[in-house]
Structure 1
């Protein structure tokens, strides 16, 4: 399917692996010019090499989305390399502080929300003028099933992702008349470095293998994931790519769940 974005320019954060990387791959396949960003330049350079894009179609700039100064520098680098962007995909984030509510400190709450909610706010603030310029724009946030189905052992993450949904909906009302469409995608238990780390930790705690940890996690913690497996990053990236496209010209303020049925409500 032609997504109609061959002349568009995208910035994707959290793109050195996982969902962000797969989104970059799909947008490049559609002919878009893509800038990938994450915190570590070496990891980004390796990610860019694996993407193997044509000359002049892919750029990689490291930045910490929680830092106003770093984001200003990223904006300057993007402007110099490709000019204004048309598409912004905010995929950067962490699992953050885990444990029951009474076990999590102020520091745990603050760090998680700083990265998973305030970081995206600062990122959008920095690039919003570019997205509003051309009369056509797409902004996609990575939220989570946790935003609408919170789990008691990762409440800071759940609260931050609920904030992302509210942010996306609010922005969708503010700028749609200018051609900027804003949506969110909410995955559940995707095969990424973040869930790999979660499963290694679970395996250590249970004294078992990562494979058995995944199996028990699905059975005990995610019983509504009817496919009985982790999702793959490409399965989420496909939905993101659609929302970045001309094909999604009447989609605004929506939250697309890519969760194998994990969220129990309709």
Structure 2
């Protein structure tokens, strides 16, 4: 399918692996040049090398406002300001009883999962508005609308992204920049690999057995009974980045295998 992205430039945070890297591949296949950004410099450089000439890599800590400003300056100097922005960087954060989370736990998740997106949007969306065309997609989570008690810090940060994206979309759409979110559930990424490895170690089972027990006990509404693939999320993101999504504004696309039980949002 021709998404009209030939010659476009996309900047993807969290681009070294998982959903970010899969999105880069999807956009490259549609003719875009991608700039991968990640905290892990060696990993993001390796990812860009493997993706080929249509990919470049930059390292940045998005929790540092000055580094985000420096990232924008580097992109403008070395490449061109992006037409497409995909914010896929994030962490699960601390887990446990919501009232037992320390202030530092809340601040870490908020700064990494929420404020990093705000900083990145602040740096790269206004140039899109000045050009009169742009797409911005934020990766949220099923947790934003279906919070799990032991993942409170993550729930709150991801829910904040939905509200932020909706509000921002209302003021950028008139300038040609469409902002939307995608909310995955239990995708096969390094983040969930770590979760499952920890569960496997605690239960004395294999990773595959840990995945099966997690689905049965923690995600009973995930009807497909498997982890999703990064490529399945990337397909939805690529659509939202395209001309085919020219009438989609402030929407939240769930790619969750049925995991969210409600009809709302």
Under a length normalisation based on structure 2, what TM-score does the superposition of the two structures give? 0.97
Matched residue, 2:127:
130
Mapping for residues 157-196 of structure 1, pairs under 5 Å: 157-196=154-193
Alignment of 1:240 onto 2:245: no
Aligned length: 263
- Distance of 2:74 and 2:31 partners within structure 1: 21
- Distance of 1:137 and 1:110 partners within structure 2: 31
Contact 2:45–2:56, Cα closer than 8 Å, also in 1? no
What secondary structure sits across from 2:59 in the alignment? Answer: coil
Q: Which runs of 4+ in 1 moved over 3 A?
A: none
Shift of 1:58: 2.0
Shift of 1:222: 0.4
- Distance of 1:200 and 1:27 partners within structure 2: 31
- Distance of 1:247 and 1:102 partners within structure 2: 44
Q: Which segments of 5 or more consecutive residues in structure 2 lack a partner in the other structure? A: none
Q: Which segments of 5 or more consecutive residues in structure 1 lack a partner in the other structure? A: none
What secondary structure sits across from 1:257 in the alignment? Answer: strand
Matched residue, 2:19:
19
Shift of 1:128: 2.0
- Distance of 1:239 and 1:212 partners within structure 2: 29
Shift of 1:175: 1.0
Match of 2:252 among 246, 255, 264: 255
Matched residue, 2:67:
70
Contact 2:93–2:105, Cα closer than 8 Å, also in 1? yes
- Distance of 1:206 and 1:101 partners within structure 2: 24
Matched residue, 1:44:
44
- Distance of 2:83 and 2:56 partners within structure 1: 15
Shift of 1:203: 1.1
The CA deviation string for residues 157-212 of structure 1, in whole angstroms up to 9 with x for no partner, is 00000000001100110111111000000000000000000001111121221111
What secondary structure sits across from 1:36 in the alignment? Answer: strand
The root-mean-square deviation of aligned C-alpha atoms, in Å, is 0.9
Alignment of 1:7 onto 2:7: yes
Matched residue, 2:199:
202
Alignment of 1:35 onto 2:28: no
Moved more, 112-121 or 142-151: 112-121
Mapping for residues 144-159 of structure 1, pairs under 5 Å: 144-159=141-156
Shift of 1:103: 2.5
- Distance of 2:114 and 2:61 partners within structure 1: 13
